């Protein structure tokens, strides 16, 4: 609890967004007139997923362009169920996971798993997982490499924080009270139980993942 409290103190504004100023047309009805009304994007699981995807790619497209580079959008964004996901380089998808596949330049996620996280821990899970996987897509485009998997995973967390910070400050995403708690709780839940950086599947402890996310949020993706 103390670690989370200290990290929350570093978040200068309430972070991440559960909605957007851009509405989805015709998604509701005015009870007074019966006319179609618009529901803000980010009000449902499906629209949160789409908003996270679109806003993250828009951020990286602009960031690459500012550096004189060309961002290559992912080829596909695939929702799957359990073990019925797409293979990547001959390796089958696994349940309860999301991943970026460099072989096909796509992102895939177990929809039931992410929906359960959304219901149990809030939509902060969506705005952690999807920008994190896009972070791996960025690493592939920049030819980033490391002997330790954990360094790539923590950099992707940092990229996710930096992306969200820029989108919130720029007004592309809206924030709600309590969102910062959701983000850090989701990062904590995904943390490794031990600080074993030599494990090939290491992602970093809860404290490490939270710390790099917060740093990225406050200082931008350039520090990642």
Give the residue from 63, 155, 29 showing the smallest Cα distance to 100. 155
Distance, in Å, from the CA atom of 195 to the CA atom of 45, rounded to the nearest integer, reads 33
Q: Compute the C-alpha angle 219/177/42, nearest 5°.
A: 85
Give the pLDDT confidence score for residue 29 in this predicted structure.
34
Give the pLDDT confidence score for residue 193 in this predicted structure.
59
Angstrom CA distances, 124 to 30, 40, 113, 174, stand at 29, 17, 14, 12
CB 192: neighbour CB atoms within 10 A?
Answer: 18
Give the pLDDT confidence score for residue 42 in this predicted structure.
59
Give the residue from 145, 80, 71, 68 showing the smallest Cα distance to 107. 80
List strand residue ranges (DSSP E) for 41-195, in order.
Answer: 76-80, 98-101, 106-110, 174-175
Give the pLDDT confidence score for residue 30 in this predicted structure.
37
Q: Which residues contact 104 (CB under 8 A, 6 or more apart)?
A: 75, 76, 86, 88
Give the pLDDT confidence score for residue 72 in this predicted structure.
97
Look at the block and give the residue holding tokens 């959304």: 118
Q: Which residues contact 201 (CB under 8 A, 6 or more apart)?
A: 149
Task: Split the chain (224 residues) into runs of 10 and give each run's mean pLDDT.
Answer: 34 41 38 33 84 96 97 97 94 94 97 94 91 97 93 96 94 77 80 69 85 95 97
Give the residue extent of every domain in the chain. Answer: 2-10+17-24+37-73+122-223
Distance, in Å, from the CA atom of 142 to the CA atom of 104, rounded to the nearest integer, reads 16
Give the pLDDT confidence score for residue 33 in this predicted structure.
31
Long-range contacts of 114-120 (CB under 8 A, 24+ apart): 114/49, 115/45, 117/186, 118/45, 118/48
**Cβ(1)–Cβ(156) below 8 Å:** no
Angstrom CA distances, 66 to 59, 61, 132, 144, 157, stand at 11, 9, 21, 19, 22
**Cβ(178)–Cβ(15) below 8 Å:** no
């Amino acid at each position: 609890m103390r670690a989370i409290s200290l990290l929350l103190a570093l978040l200068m504004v309430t972070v991440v967004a559960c909605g957007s100023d851009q509405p989805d047309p015709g998604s509701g009805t005015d009870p007074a007139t019966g006319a179609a009304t618009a529901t803000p994007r980010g009000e449902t699981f499906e629209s949160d997923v789409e908003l996270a995807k679109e806003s993250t790619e828009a951020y990286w497209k602009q960031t690459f362009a500012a550096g004189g580079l060309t961002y290559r959008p992912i080829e596909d964004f695939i929702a799957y169920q359990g073990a019925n996901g797409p293979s990547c380089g001959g390796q089958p998808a696994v349940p309860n996971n999301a991943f970026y596949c460099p072989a096909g330049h796509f992102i895939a996620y177990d929809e039931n798993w992410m929906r359960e996280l959304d219901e149990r821990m809030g939509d902060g899970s969506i705005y952690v997982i999807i920008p994190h996987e896009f972070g791996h897509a960025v690493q592939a485009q920049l030819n980033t490499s490391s002997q330790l998997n954990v360094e790539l995973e923590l950099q992707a967390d940092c990229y996710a924080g930096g992306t969200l910070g820029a989108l919130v400050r720029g007004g592309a995403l809206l924030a709600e009270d309590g969102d910062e708690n959701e983000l850090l709780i989701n990062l904590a839940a995904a943390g490794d139980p031990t600080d074993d950086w030599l494990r090939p599947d290491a992602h970093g402890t809860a404290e490490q993942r939270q710390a790099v996310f917060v740093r990225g949020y406050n200082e931008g993706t350039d520090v990642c």
